[in-house]
Amino acid sequence: MSKRGSLILIEGLDRTGKSTQADLIVNEFENAGKKVELIKFPDRTTEIGKLINQFLVDKNFNLPKESIHLLFSANRWELKSQLLEKLLQGVNLIMDRYYYSGIAYSTANGLDFDWCKSPDIGLPKPDLVLFLTFKDNENVNKLKNRENYGEERYEITEFQQEVKKNFETFFNKEEKQRLQSSNSKADFEIVYVDNKTIEEVKTDVLGLVKKFIEVDNTNPVEYFQ
């Protein structure tokens, strides 16, 4: 079977260091001569991405919660063929947010779980999902002390607590389903970042990601169902 790149997703709450870790991993593997690229969602550069960006930074730009959910999903569909093309060319993709953020944030906004999942059915499913989070809920409350916290729409402590709960419920559900299904190879891991330095989190993340990049991936790409 032909080789392809792996799709590795880093998910988590705002300000858990996802983007920092995604950059570090890309650099690490690039320096080791591997084919690896960073993909970030939302991609704020596309036409749909520009609307999403306006919604996030301008609290007076209001949209129904269903509409913004569909826009986030549409933004992922805009990049689907590009993602697949790169994977099939053997490029490993490190993604900063995707489907799981879409569902955890929109259900925190009060939308129905199954309704939220449906627009993403058919998008490529990651081989590995890492969930960066705080073990201690109190550390979510401390986010408000960070510089510039609160500038974007969802940077509100109570909302982040709800997102954390929804991510956890969602990951438990997915993990249960994965264990029951004999044909899915997708893997989920939780990385706690409480009181850890960037280097310490990087060591944890690299340990989990390594085998997906260093060992040839011959599994067919899976899709959300």
The nearest distance, CB 90 to ligand TMP, in angstroms, is 26
Sign of CA dihedral 72, 209, 127, 160: negative
Q: Is residue 120 at the binding interface for ligand TMP, with CB under 6 A as the rule?
A: no
Among 4, 86, 97, 125, binds ligand TMP (CB under 6 A): 97
- The closest alpha carbon to 132, from 184, 202, 73, belongs to 202
Is the CB of residue 3 less than 8 Å from the CB of residue 217? yes
Q: Give the nearer residue to ligand TMP in terms of CB position, either 3 or 80.
A: 80
The distance of closest approach from Cβ of residue 84 to ligand TMP in the complex, given in angstroms and rounded to an integer, is: 19
Residue 6 phi, psi (nearest 5): -95, 150
The residues in 166-195 that bind ligand TMP, with binding defined as CB under 6 A, are none
Judged by CB under 6 A, does residue 117 bind ligand TMP? Answer: no
Which of 6, 8, 14, 205 touches ligand TMP by CB under 6 A?
A: 14
Per CB under 6 A, does 42 bind ligand TMP? Answer: yes
In the chain, which residue ranges form alpha helices assigned H by DSSP?
Answer: 18-31, 47-57, 65-78, 80-88, 99-108, 113-117, 137-141, 157-180, 198-214
Contact set for ligand TMP, span 45-74 (CB under 6 A): 56, 72
Q: Considering Cα of 58, then 63, then 68, then 71, what sign does the dihedral take?
A: negative
Cβ proximity to ligand TMP, 56 vs 190, nearer residue: 56
Q: Which two tokens stand for residue 175?
A: 């993990």
Residue 29's nearest CA partner among 224, 222, 187, 205 is: 205
Measured from the CB atom, is 121 or 215 closer to ligand TMP?
121
Taking CB under 6 A as the binding criterion, the range among 29-37, 97-105, 138-146, 209-217 that sits at the site for ligand TMP is 97-105
Count of residues in contact with ligand TMP, rule CB under 6 A: 11
Residue 185: CB minimum distance to ligand TMP, A: 24
- Choose the binding region for ligand TMP from 79-87, 96-104, 122-130, 191-199 (rule: CB under 6 A): 96-104
Contacts for 8 with CB less than 8 Å, ≥ 6 apart: 25, 92, 93, 94, 95, 126, 127, 128, 130, 209, 212, 213
- Cβ closer to ligand TMP: 105 or 131? 105
Residue where the block lists tokens 């933004």: 75
Of 16, 92, 101, 217, the residue at the interface with ligand TMP (CB under 6 A) is 101
- Alpha-carbon distance 208 to 205, whole Å? 5
DSSP 184: -
Residues that bind ligand TMP (CB under 6 A): 14, 41-42, 56, 72, 97, 101-102, 105, 152, 154
